Amino acid sequence: MEELQSTLPPDKKLKAGREYIWNRKSKRKAEYWKYYLEYVENGKLRAECKFCPKTFAADGNLNGSKNVKNHAESCLGNPINIEKEKGKEKQTKLYFDQEHESSELKCGSRIINLNDVREALIHMIIVDELPFKHVEKPGVRHFVQVACPQFHIPSRVTIARDCLKLYYSEKEKLREMFKTCQRISVTTDTWTSIQRINYMCLTAHFIDNDWKLNKKIINFCPISSHKGEAIGKAVEACLEYWGIDDKLFTVTVDNASSNDVACAHLSRMVRRTGCINDGKNLHVRCIAHIINLIVWDGIREHGVCIDRVRNAVKYVKNSPARILRFKDLVQKANIDSKSSLSFDVPTRWNSTYIMLETALKFRRVFSGLSLPDGEDLNDNERPPEPEDWEKVERLVLFLEGFYLLTKRISGSHYVTANKGLGEIASMYDMLNNWEQSEDLNFQAMAIAMKKKFDKYWGDVDKMNKFIYVALLLDPHSKMVIVELTLTDMHGPEKGTKLANDVKEFAYSLFEEYRKMYATSNIPDCGDNMSMDIDNSKGLGSDYVRKLKERAKRLKGTSGYAISELDRYLNDQLGLEEEEQDALTWWGKNGQRYVILNRMARDILAIPLSTVASESAFSTGGRTLDPFRSSLTPKMVQALLCTQDWLRAKEVPNVDVEENLKELEEIEKEVQRGESNDVDDEVVFVDSLV
């Protein structure tokens, strides 16, 4: 059996319990039989393809060989057929591709390869989050028949199988990429699906050798519970599976107490496998989540006016007739805004901000509606009064800075680690300004938020020190911006002391990196330190020679290597370099700092928020919607991970909801183009009420 297995491709396994025929005396003469395994089933002879699961009746006296021959010549798993398909000379076809940024048409020619069409179909199913049954819909089949008649659409079962094959193929590519990367920072979060299954998403962030930031979802799997120990063990198992448990650098999580337990578990793991700074700075708290806690402590003071606006929005959106009435009043009031009313999620203050900011544009329209009012209503259920709108207006102004700040640090396709300290200082400055407000309500709100701010960021020891070093490693900031920021936040005396602590930590971290990586790669700094020994004789020549020999031995030691960090901190930026972002600068100048560029590659990749993992749950919700809730957890992981790996950075997620305003404009344009005096074919009854 081992000899028979050796004739098969690596991914093909012999079926357990199947009675295979090996070394038969009368061998088949036809060439295509070498692509088959013969076996006996229920006393009948059958042939199994070596490259796919298909089997055929193969009794020479009872069955013909046409099916066996045709399959051998067309099996897509057979590498011979793939090469033949690539090498076939087919008629090229002209195509015209319109550039996205211009209206010019680009002309080209290509050979239509059916394998490429099939791969493109799989790509569409995964990236666009389509169900497997999508390929069996009559509209899709009609479109493909017109666009590419020679392509035969596979069944949903084949599509599911191809999606899994693509997942395993892309996973191996990512595994190879992990072998060449340096260290990896991860974000993780948990979620409960409509199937009541607890899922954990784990996302890896790292900077590759080309100084490109990579974000890859490496796990979306069920876990036993949301408890910290279960999360920690699940993350550890995933890292070991990928072979990167010894490359873990930081873990970014929200402020749930269970995550503290999970990070403690992972700290013990990295101390076994090897880590930077003994794992003391492994735990990174999600800045977006802390901002969420800080803001909620402040806007709690304005709960009444927020509830009144929320109820007014809900009243309008709960009835089609009210929506039409609202649109009519907007048109009469000449309010030129493409915004539409939106509900908020009570646990997400940024959605509350968007709701208030949008409703504020239509404050005159709300006054023209007959909103419910009466003595039986609670105070927060009454219609918004002019005083409420004034409070909302100031509240929106107050929250705008926090909203923009959250958006800036929640990106996953650009580095955010070097922005963390600056954004925290910006928030501190905003709170200080609002503390001086003449409005006592807003003053109290700023004071409440300041207390929460001090709880998490009031002391340098409460923050992960990598955030300070990340700003230092930003070539546009360096140590001077770190010192100024800490001085503004903590005063001259304490700020200077904290800046010195940060600098001392940076030097100790650099020394650790120097010891970790081979010193043989460190270039000589011949201009600064000549190692030529003077052979001249004279008074003190022996002493001078000894000094030079000692200096020569300092090459590669801390006394020599730390000067690289000093040199970086003292170098000035040119005008061209000032226009580059941090990654571009390090990509062009990293060779000048042999050790420091390794340190920058790890620290700048640290994500400051868990949005990269949380955003996967919106995709998970669509993948596991009520119509497809029968997907297995393994298939869910394959679809979500592969989608994340295939999506290019430049391609944004497309919102599935249509823009109603845009559709209304399209309807008017089409109607004007066809006829100016055609009446509406659809009569809305609500508009006649």
Q: Is residue 581 one of the residues assigned to a domain?
A: no
Q: Which of 87, 103, 118 is a domain's end point?
A: 87
Task: Identify the pLDDT of residue 442.
Answer: 78
How far is residue 95's CA from residue 633's CA, in Å, rounded to a whole number?
41
Domain with 371, as residue range(s), is 302-410
* Residue-averaged pLDDT of the chain: 79
Task: Identify the pLDDT of residue 545.
Answer: 63
What strand order describes the sheet that includes 55-57? 19-20, 36-41, 44-49, 55-57
User: In 3-state terms, the chain is what percent helix, strand and coil (to 5)?
Assistant: 55, 10, 35
pTM above 0.75, yes or no: no
Quote the distance between the C-alpha of residue 143 and its chain's center. Answer: 33
Task: Identify the pLDDT of residue 97.
Answer: 54
How far is residue 163's CA from residue 171's CA, in Å, rounded to a whole number?
12
SS3 119: helix
Task: Identify the pLDDT of residue 598.
Answer: 92
SS3 244: coil
Phi and psi of 200, rounded to 5°? -120, 130
How far is residue 52's CA from residue 286's CA, in Å, rounded to a whole number?
47
Q: Is residue 478 one of the residues assigned to a domain?
A: no
Q: Which of 52, 87, 122 is a domain's end point?
A: 87
Amino acid identity of residue 203, one-letter, is T
> What would you measure as the largest C-alpha separation in the chain, in angstroms?
113
Q: Is residue 406 one of the residues assigned to a domain?
A: yes
Strand 105-110 and strand 93-98: pairing? antiparallel
The number of domains in the chain is 2
- Cα separations (Å) of 474 from 89, 183, 281, 402, 636? 53, 19, 19, 23, 39
Q: Is residue 75 one of the residues assigned to a domain?
A: yes
Q: Please, which contacts does 672-679 make with residues 24 or more away whose CB atoms are closer than 8 Å?
A: none
Counting as low any pLDDT under 70, the low residues of the chain are 1, 25-26, 82-111, 338, 346-347, 518-562, 574-577, 616-630, 648-661, 663-664, 673-689
Q: Is residue 201 one of the residues assigned to a domain?
A: no
How far is residue 268's CA from residue 594's CA, in Å, rounded to a whole number?
30
Q: Is residue 336 one of the residues assigned to a domain?
A: yes
Q: Which of 410, 428, 459 is a domain's end point?
A: 410
How far is residue 639's CA from residue 168's CA, in Å, rounded to a whole number?
11
DSSP letters for 577-607:
HHTS-HHHHHHHHGGG-TTHHHHHHHHTT--
